[in-house]
């Protein structure tokens, strides 16, 4: 049996789909499961234990007839038995109908949803991983949705141990990921918590736990934020994992992750690291599970800067 999933979006969207893919693998252990994702999200599958092949297609690009024809050819060549689609584009629905795949599954509300053979209601008010998991109803799978889990490789865990020794954090540490100012500005999304407020939080932690190191996670677009943070708090350490699997491993060893709605947040949830995430316009209840390992602090005004440092510290020191 060959199964395909079309999953637009960033790495976080892929991590939220992991429970669905893992359950498919549990139900059909001999099945081959492939995904088609945007190039920016391919790295997510370095930590998936259920996916066999990762193909890329830029769903956000201005794709022409030749692009869709090429995608159709790729799909037809692999002779899939079933396909799940999260793509809200009517050409994708039509393309899957033309592909000849016997079972096509997607939400009723998607553009092009009427082309699917098995249509599922989209319950957008719930945790996104549960919403994605509802697609399994298209194969009559109704088991409870597990939480996302990652398949970490030994070489990445070994790298994380070496990184902890380099940073001097082998006895415990806190990680902070504050996001990229440039990226947020480019996307028009309010996801940057002010440096002066991070400084208040860090100074309080250092006063109460002076021996607990704090490290900043630096991604490819985070340079401006990192520079500003080091000017405010020069004693902070910096870790720069080279890929998603190394990032997951260093997060897995942390006592706490403080972050915005970003890739590290989804990874932390999946490895069980206690996480406090700050949310502006995006909704915490849709992106975080309801459990004791993670807390979503939602700005009352939907501007992330309006979250008070005192509220973050209250969650850190509670109990």
DSSP states along 13-81: HHHHHHHHHHHHHHHSTT-EEEEEE-GGGGGGGGG-SS-SEEEE--TTS---HHHHHHHHHHHHHHT-S
Contacts 24+ apart (CB under 8 A), 158-162: 159/246, 159/249, 160/246, 160/249, 160/250, 160/252, 160/253, 161/253
263 in helix, strand or coil? Answer: helix
Angle (CA) 288-141-118 rounded to 5° is: 100
Helix 263-271 and helix 11-27, axial crossing angle in degrees, nearest 10: 30
CATH 3.40.50.2000 range(s) for the chain read 2-139, 154-317
Q: Find all residues with CB under 8 Å of 197, minimum gap 6, and list them.
A: 305, 307, 309
Where does residue 121 rank: exposed (0-12), middle (13-18), buried (19+ CB within 10 A)? exposed
Q: Looking at the domain 154-317, which fold is it?
A: Rossmann fold (3.40.50)
Whole-angstrom distance, CA of residue 3 vs CA of residue 138? 13
CATH 3.40.50.880 fits 2-139, yes or no: no
pLDDT at 188: 58
How does pLDDT run along the chain (319 residues), one tens digit per residue? 999 999 999 999 999 999 999 999 999 999 999 999 999 999 999 999 999 999 999 998 888 999 999 999 999 999 999 999 999 999 999 999 999 999 999 999 999 889 999 999 999 999 999 999 999 999 999 999 999 999 999 999 999 999 999 999 988 999 999 976 555 555 556 678 999 999 999 999 999 999 999 999 998 888 899 999 999 999 999 999 999 999 999 999 999 999 999 999 999 999 999 999 999 999 999 999 999 999 999 999 999 999 999 999 999 998 6
- SS3 of the chain: helix, strand, coil, percent, to 5: 45, 15, 40
Q: Side-chain half-sphere of 231: how many Cα atoms within 13 Å?
A: 8
For residues 88 and 111, is the Cβ–Cβ distance under 8 A? yes
DSSP 117: S
- 261 with 276: CB under 8 angstroms? no
- Return the closest-CA partner of residue 112 out of 95, 136, 132, 128: 95
d(CA 85, CA 89): 10
């Amino acid at each position: 049996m060959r199964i395909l999933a079309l999953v637009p979006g960033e790495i976080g969207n892929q991590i939220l789909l992991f429970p669905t893919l893992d359950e498919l693998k549990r139900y059909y252990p001999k099945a081959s499961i492939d995904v088609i994702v945007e190039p920016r999200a391919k790295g997510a599958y370095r930590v998936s234990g259920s996916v066999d092949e990762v193909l890329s297609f830029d769903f956000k690009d201005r794709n022409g007839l030749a692009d869709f024809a090429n995608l159709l050819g790729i799909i037809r060549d692999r002779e899939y038995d079933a396909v799940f689609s999260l793509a809200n584009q009517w050409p994708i629905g039509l393309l899957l109908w033309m592909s000849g795949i016997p079972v096509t599954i997607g939400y009723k509300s998607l553009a092009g949803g009427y082309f699917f053979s098995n249509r599922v209601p989209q319950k957008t008010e719930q945790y996104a991983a549960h919403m994605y998991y509802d697609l399994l109803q298209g194969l009559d799978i109704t088991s409870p949705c597990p939480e996302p889990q990652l398949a970490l490789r030994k070489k990445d865990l070994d790298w994380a141990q070496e990184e902890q020794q380099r940073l001097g954090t082998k006895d415990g540490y806190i990680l902070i990921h504050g996001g990229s100012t440039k990226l947020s500005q480019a996307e028009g999304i309010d996801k940057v918590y002010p440096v002066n407020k991070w400084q208040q939080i860090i100074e309080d932690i250092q006063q109460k736990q002076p021996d607990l190191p704090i490290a900043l996670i630096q991604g490819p677009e985070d340079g401006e934020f990192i520079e500003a943070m080091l000017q405010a708090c020069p004693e902070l350490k910096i870790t720069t994992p080279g890929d998603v699997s190394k990032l997951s491993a260093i997060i897995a060893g942390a006592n706490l992750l403080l972050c915005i709605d970003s890739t590290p947040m989804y990874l932390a949830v999946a490895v069980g690291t206690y996480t406090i995430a700050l949310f502006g316009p995006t909704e915490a209840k849709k992106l975080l599970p309801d459990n004791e390992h993670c807390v979503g602090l939602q700005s009352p005004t939907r501007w992330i800067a309006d979250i008070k440092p005192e509220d973050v510290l209250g969650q850190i020191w509670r109990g």
